[in-house]
Structure 1
Amino acid sequence: MVDVSYGPPAVARVDAETIDHAIANLIGNAMKYSTGRKELSRSVGTVDSGMVITVSDRGIGIPPEDQEQIFEKFSRGSNVTDETGAGLGLALVQETVRAHGGDVLVTDRKGGGTTFTLRIPLERAM
């Protein structure tokens, strides 16, 4: 199940291809690390003076002690054993968002799973 919601419209000038790749990586990870019934939600909107994109899942989650290191190249969560990967995707997501003057936040989702929040300042994104 995929739930998509959009907030008030906002115009932002970003490198659409790289932002699309970043979002696709987060969605791919959400599907890859979700077991059983796959639940995914995505939202796009504005908060204060920034564009905010969230991707949430009900997957295996990311241990709190791993939540900073997962953005380093070749790093993966300590609870990942069965899925293949090089540990580059989240590093590229963070690099893309930072190139737009923004940041990436990772939080545990109540009830299990993870939420990634991409925040890009509109004045920078315009």
Structure 2
Amino acid sequence: MKKTVIIGATPNPSRYAFFAAERLTQKGHEIVPLGIKKGSVAGIPIINDKPQIVDVDTVTMYVGPQKQNEWIDYIISLKPKRIIFNPGTENPIFYQKAAAAGIFTEEACTLVMLSSQTY
């Protein structure tokens, strides 16, 4: 299955990033939850730094554009095949930088993609 890095992971069960982590693991995808929150999601500790990760298929964004600058170079360094910009995370400047690095971007909802089997 697809290794997915979740940017903006949270242990808060009322947040979409939490639901996405749960659904991704239920569907058999390996997740790497990254964020500033302490705790765990889907039984996996949230990583509060920016480790080197290999074989990343997808990065799914749950951090708004105003807080993405600190993540852009790091995410591009992971060389994911794609970046999903969930509602509220859209960022045309980031799209251009990703495209220049050969990374596909899409404005979509990870939860909808999982439900419709288009993930």
Indicate the TM-score class for this superposition, using the shorter chain for normalisation: under 0.3
Structure label with greater radius of gyration? 1
Higher strand share: 1
TM-score by length of 1: 0.25
Q: RCO greater where, 1 or 2, for CA within 8 Å and sep 6 or more?
A: 1
TM-score by length of 2: 0.26
